[in-house]
Amino acid sequence: ALCCSGISIPSTSYHVGTKGSLGGTGKGAGRSLPGGRAAAATHRNDLAFSGLPLPLSARLVHHQGAAAVGRSQPARLRIGGVERRGRARLQGARDVRAAMQPLGQKDSLPMEAVAEGLQTGQIQDAETLSQLINKVTLPKHPRARFGELPNGLAYCILPNAAPAGRFECHLEVCAGSADELVSQQGMAHMCEHVSYMGSKKRERLFGTSSQTNAQTDFHHTVYWASCPTYRPSSGVPMLPLALDALCDVMEAKFEPSRVEKERSAILSEAAMVNTIDYRVEVQLLSALHEENRLKKRFPIGKVEQIKSWSNQEVKAYHAAHYRPNNAHLYVIGDIDTDEAEVLIQKTFSHLESRDPPVYPPEEEMVIPNLKNDNRFLPPVSHEWLGTRSHGTDKPRVHIFQHELMQSFSAHIFAKVPVEPIRTLPDYR
């Protein structure tokens, strides 16, 4: 699935990373996974990277197999493998009554409310129980903590003891190549290089068994640090250093020497990736997204523009998009949740939120677009399967030929929107 655009595609996608590896051996560098997850490291169905509630199973277990209601034994609730007994501390009766409205209304309720209804005798028959189950929302991970700072920075913390003694931090800036102006093609990638490779605070992680990298895609730029929980040589906690390094990205200094150094690295990377396989991928994605800006906003950008930008122009792009209210932080690993939350507040709260950039009319930015509803998606709109009419709309046929191609292939695409999985019936 091409996660960045919300459609299905039987092809590989491409993104570029700080190191620019062609083989995709590092997280966020080079090619994405075959069969096509764009930005594979950040779009697995994984809480640590998606920022969305996990589709955990939730099921009600009747005490001692009893299907009758109103018994003295408390109902048992099993959510995500964790069993909870007793009366849920919720407004259970009110939630159940609200959910007993006609099924055509889009009500929802937590599984605890169904347990409360069974325990108090408000659910009297299997039909009512079935109707209510159809309204159950999927629970969030019981150990995950979600929050948002006053400046708009959203965060998710998930303690996870395996592997022991390590954690990861990912900072997702919801701006990628699709957010670039006509004159900025490749600037999201340039910002990635300068912001992280030029960070003095990132250098503090060197020699601590830590790994750092970053990646740029159509819809976002992601920076990450994988570190031991404590510095091996001194036992000093590493989480403050990792968060400092990621916060430094939001306040990057665009020194002329660093901009020129990264410009050379990017031009070298652009030359390396310009293989026939990459050109074919560009053609496939250009054909697939013929109706929107994804076809002309590939992360690597345009060489002639990369050569011409001043450091002030790159800094202006950074100022427009690197806003706390346009970013999401993920912390997962062998950490203490409370301590991590305090550190996040301490490290990122001073950043000031800003309004998003306004695109001039000549940019032909379609409004509304996917990003208006979900900032994790690119600012584009799609022609879904069934929106074009045979005999009325011109057929979309794209042919690409090149002397270096030694084989023939045909691709038929049908764009289908990704359906959200938020309730138990969705998950089933």
- What amino acid positions are annotated as catalytic residues? 192, 262
Buried b / exposed e across 217-249, counting CB within 10 Å, b at 16+?
bbbbbbbbbbbbbebeeeeebbbebbbbbbbbb
Say which residue the tokens 């959510």 belong to: 79
3-class SS at 137? Answer: strand
Closest CA relative to residue 103, chosen from 72, 123, 132: 132
Of the candidates 374, 337, 409, 427, the one whose C-alpha atom is nearest the C-alpha of residue 136 is 427
SS3 93: helix
CA-based radius of gyration for the chain: 25
Phi-psi bin for 17: left (phi > 0), alpha (psi -120 to 50), beta?
A: beta
Helix ranges restricted to H, 23-82: 47-50
Rounded to whole angstroms, how far apart are CA atoms 333 and 169? Answer: 9
Q: Return the SS3 of 81.
A: coil
What CA–CA distance (Å, rounded) separates 419 from 402?
Answer: 37
Does residue 56 contact residue 82 with C-beta atoms inside 8 Å? no
SS3 state at 145 = strand
Q: What amino acid occupies position 191?
A: C
Q: Which segments of 102-209 does DSSP mark as H helices, in order? A: 111-120, 126-133, 187-192, 200-203
